[in-house]
Amino acid sequence: MIEIETHVESAGEHLEHLTNKFAKRNLNKGRGKQCSNCHLRLDHNMRNCAIDKYLTSEQCGDPSKHPEERSLMDSATKNLKMLEKELRNKTNKYDTRLKGLNSARSSFAQTIRGALINSKKDNYLVKTGSGIFVPKSGLVNQDIAKLEKHFHGKVPDNVPEMSKTFQSIIQILIKKNFFILVLLLSNIQREKH
Ligand SMILES: [Zn+2]
Ligand SMILES: [Zn+2]
């Protein structure tokens, strides 16, 4: 991503450099008739041109009259456009992937949240001073994360029915983690001896 951005930047700088060199605006401005000898727009023609024929558009500012220099600029433009397109495509792909990831994540939490809270209200809700019940966000989010792990991020079919198993899944995960912890500790103890 950063690599392609750098390429676009340097391709842009290259084109700008060529433009400044071969297509200087101030040399070829004005609406006067262009002379086919000097390529300037000074309202004269090649018959009464007093200027030596220019061999490069560095002097006349009109690369369209100098095929080699024009093709240099054309290929620099083409290269820049190609890189810009590549960057756009990559950015789009990245955005789409991120969106997909975020929506999968938030939709799991959104779909599960209510059912989880309902599966053990006294555990997840706390009564505020004004008498309304609000969820304990920290605990709710922790348990959503456990369920998300258990279901591999996929919302289970029939959430209301499945929600009856939520608490035992969470308890098993807690026990499993506890068991792993005990195992780790006993290994450490054993290593000490
Ligand atoms: Zn001229
Ligand atoms: Zn010229």
Q: What is the pLDDT of residues 106-150, one digit of tens each?
A: 788 988 999 999 999 999 998 888 888 888 989 999 999 999 999
Q: Among the bound ligands, name the one nearest to the CA of residue 46.
A: 1
Q: Among the bound ligands, name the one nearest to the CA of residue 60.
A: 2
**Ligand 2 center–CA 48 separation, angstroms:** 17
**Ligand 1 center–CA 51 separation, angstroms:** 6
Residues 16 and 7: their CA atoms lie apart, in Å, by 14
Percent of the chain with pLDDT over 70: 98
Is residue 177 in some structural domain?
Answer: yes
Residues 157 and 176: their CA atoms lie apart, in Å, by 25
Place of tokens 């392609």: 4
Is residue 184 in some structural domain?
Answer: yes
Find residue 134's DSSP bridge partners. Answer: 126
Cβ neighbours of residue 9 closer than 8 Å, sequence gap 6 or more: none
Do 74 and 153 lie in one domain? The reply is no
pLDDT digits 0-9 by tens, 49-95: 988 887 899 999 999 999 999 999 999 999 999 999 999 898 888 88
Do 157 and 82 lie in one domain? The reply is no
Q: What 3-state DSSP class applies to 62?
A: coil
**Total domains in the fold of the chain:** 2
| Confidence band for 193, pLDDT divided at 50, 70 and 90 | low
Find residue 115's DSSP bridge partners. Answer: none
**Ligand 2 center–CA 43 separation, angstroms:** 15
Is residue 108 in some structural domain?
Answer: no
Stretch (H or E) spanning 126: strand 125-127
Q: What 3-state DSSP class applies to 52?
A: coil
Is residue 111 in some structural domain?
Answer: no
Is residue 151 in some structural domain?
Answer: yes
Do 7 and 90 lie in one domain? The reply is yes
Do 74 and 125 lie in one domain? The reply is no
User: DSSP alpha helices (H): ranges in 120-165?
Assistant: 121-124, 137-150, 159-162
Do 10 and 68 lie in one domain? The reply is yes
**Residue 21 token pair:** 């060199």
- In which domain, by residue range, is 169 found? 120-188
Is residue 35 in some structural domain?
Answer: yes
Cβ neighbours of residue 125 closer than 8 Å, sequence gap 6 or more: 117, 133, 134, 135, 136
Is residue 61 in some structural domain?
Answer: yes
Closest CA to 123 of 171, 82, 56, 190: 171
**Ligand 2 center–CA 128 separation, angstroms:** 82
Residue 189, pLDDT > 80, answer no
Is residue 193 in some structural domain?
Answer: no
Report the mean per-residue pLDDT for the chain.
Answer: 89
Residues 151 and 111: their CA atoms lie apart, in Å, by 13
Do 91 and 138 lie in one domain? The reply is no
